[in-house]
Chain A
Amino acid sequence: MAEDFHHALKFKYDLCIGCSHCTGVCPTSAIHVEDGHPVLDPNRCVDCGRCYVACPMNAIYIEQDDFQTIYDYKYPVLLVPSIFLAQFEEKIRERTILSALLHLGFKDIYEVEKSVDFIKEYIRRDLENGNVPYEKPVISSFCPAIVRLIQVKFPVLVDNIYLVKAPFDMTAEYIKKSLTEKGVKEEDIGIFYVSPCAAKIAAIKSPVGEEKSPVSGVINMNYLYSKVLRVIKTGEYKMCDESARFHRLSKASITYPLTGGETKMLRIGRNLAIDDIHNVSEFLEKVEDEDIQDIDFLELRACDGSCCGGILTAENRFLMIERQRKRMQKCSDEVDSEDNDLLNYFDYLADKRHVSEVEPRSMDKMDDNVAAAMQKMKRAFEINQNLPQVDCHLCGYPSCKALAEAVVTDKAQIQQCIFVQRAMEHYDLLTPKEAHDISAKVWGAKKTDPTIAKNLNL
């Protein structure tokens, strides 16, 4: 088995009340409950962040680098997705935001989508040369949660993934190259990427199908949003001069992070854009089944509203999408290399853009040995047939099927099912005290404390 995936999502057990809402929303059934707290299966989790959204206690946090590390570099640079600006109300001007960011200590600010025009041109050449995956539909590799979802849940489709570096990586390569050419020492450059989601963070910390990322650190988007807003509200920044502004981007670059932006830009045959990881799962299941055929390109995004729906964005996604579209209308259709210096580095970036193959790592495999796996699968079927199919979560697992599979892989015991408990009590195979102790092991002592009955005057 390959190394465990790195995950950016972590549980704070001191805040967790063990409600298990997170287990139910997980698209890969990666979470179960033990001793009153969620436990993550690192080989199933794809860092989509649905659990983070579902948690009523804010007991899930997303790891990030300490902001102070930007000062470890003589030349800290901010690499920020264009949707960062869409979080701010219209009355806050771009120049104000830029000034606040510079005030925080960044020497330069680059928007991630600076490399989108390069990617567009490169893919156009790939298509002309037939240099795209043979398997149809070709699937965009833009969203790292989707790439991981395919690895674990739809391994049949790994060869359909179109392996190109994401815009943030390409722009980071450009920043490094162009700054060193200007005489900045490489070790002085710190590139800090602002992430709208957990998946991008996980991808930077342990890239799938890629060598080490050129990004030096990651800042969570909502954290930076608050920091910038604070600087603006307190007025402690110095307004930068009139000429300073965000780099000019093309219309396509601004729509790129929105749902449909990639398909609209690439126009590859018959294409579809699908957002929300559950929608994507449903669709890929059918693609894998051969039930859906003759599609050339799929733009898939884990979040509803694509990156604007990222779990680390600070503003409502619909308002962000609206602002992004408004900004797009002010942009020109084409931007040349005079406006976008990155395009002067075409050949250099073309060399850098390849990523190595993405390996399938099926989460469904029940044993490394086929014979043993068959036995376990058979046993899991039999167990599941006797379970109530209520999917009540009370065993600590998201479904009856998940419990059956956990039982045959020695991760759980069948008595965790309360229906099984009742049946066993009926035949005196289990005492009420034993049944209670089993539930206490799943839900923790506090939730299963018998004094609850007294408190309720029962």
Chain B
Amino acid sequence: MLKLRLSGLSCGVCGNFRIPMPIPRSYSNSASSIALSSIDVKPKVPLYLRPPSFSASVSELAKWHKWAKNLASSVGSTFVNLDNGPDSTLLRRELNWLLQDLIELQHHSKILPRLESGNNENLDVSVALRAPLEEMYCVWRQRIEERRPFQYVVGCEHWRDLVLSVQEGVLIPRPETEMIIDLVEDVALNNAPELAQGVWADLGTGSGAIAIATARALRSHADGDARGRVIATDLSPVAVAVATSNVQRHGLEGVVEVRKGSWFEPLNDVQGELAGVLSNPPYIPSGDMSGLQAEVGQHEPIIALDGGTSGTNDLLHLIDGVASMLKPGGFFAFETNGEKQCRFLVDYIQNEKAGRFGDINIVSDFAGIQRFVMGFHR
């Protein structure tokens, strides 16, 4: 019987190994409302940062690895066909990353190739692990059978050059969103270097990804002693706790301030003074929520995804607010659902906010989808 006593990685319904039915919406809602109601949220420690205080022999590890690989291979393209989920190749790559996080870095070069090659020497040599092997059986089953996102399994997401802690209740930062930082650097800071000394805001910060990467960009563009800073806001106490711990781990306590609250609410003290406002708000139209990929729809926080009927509820709120929050010359960039939302927002800005913004642009992501709307306050 597998142990359920698990410190960092929650093992949930581990004893139940049936292929899960799609979990009803109410389940996810109740899960997130539980998280929201708890006042004192203690962020979980990602696997790669936990002490290597467990061990297993090479043969036990190899046995687990073989089992996990077979489980990954059994998926084939089932998930791809079902909801554009991961295929076996991707799952096997994730398995390698799980191993990398499980074993201390200095042993990677010795252990990892051995598991692949099936070398039979020194099978009883013991390997230090950051989690017990029983837990690895458990979490890999969750990954495959419950479609629990890989990033929640290992407790972190590699994003740009950062490794950010993530856990249930916090949106996993997407690769597309990395480009917001390129816009900050290439568009805002290159055209208006003085913005590097101002106060920036990341609204609905989640894990703190945008806020932390922006703070680092401001630092590298800083001229002399004058330093810019970033205020990150989020309504969710889990997000606030996780973002705060990510800020600390990146040594940015003095530069990024995490405030709890909805969108602009916690920012009364900097009204009209912001140098930049960035956000990846919920933008999925409510109607699309039920058809989402299982990793997203069944595990990630609805509150960070559902943007109302057309998906633009929060984006419109942000555009309404940003006019009064930005100082003249200030920059904004928001992520959207795609071409339709981008065009709608640009129309809205040009008609409803005529004359208040300039250099309005739509920027596509690397998949060629129009993803970002950005501009400068006049």
B and A form one assembly: no
Chain A positions within 8 Å of B, measured between CB atoms, are none
Chain B positions within 8 Å of A, measured between CB atoms, are none
